[in-house]
Amino acid sequence: IYKVLEIRKKKQAIGVFTGETAETIDAIEAGKKGYVRFRGELWNAKAESFIPVGTKVTIDKKDGSVLTVHPVEKDEKTGTKH
């Protein structure tokens, strides 16, 4: 009973990942899966375009155990990433 109550008290993780930054561990082919490191953990990820190894990515959404990501873009004028 204790474990059931503990699980019910946990907050939902919906939206927690959106907008966070991760780094690719594998090259991710368009429409295929690869791995990213997010907060010290490895996650399956997919993208709409090719992303090379070691690229900083932004998480768009989480679908089960798969993250949808896109490369972090640099602002040409300021040189900062968003």
Contact 45, 34 (CB under 8 A): yes
Query: Is the pTM for the entire model greater than 0.85?
Result: no
pLDDT tens-digit map of 23-71: 999 999 998 999 999 988 999 999 999 999 999 999 999 998 899 999 9
pLDDT of res. 9: 57
Distance CA 71, CA 50 (A): 9
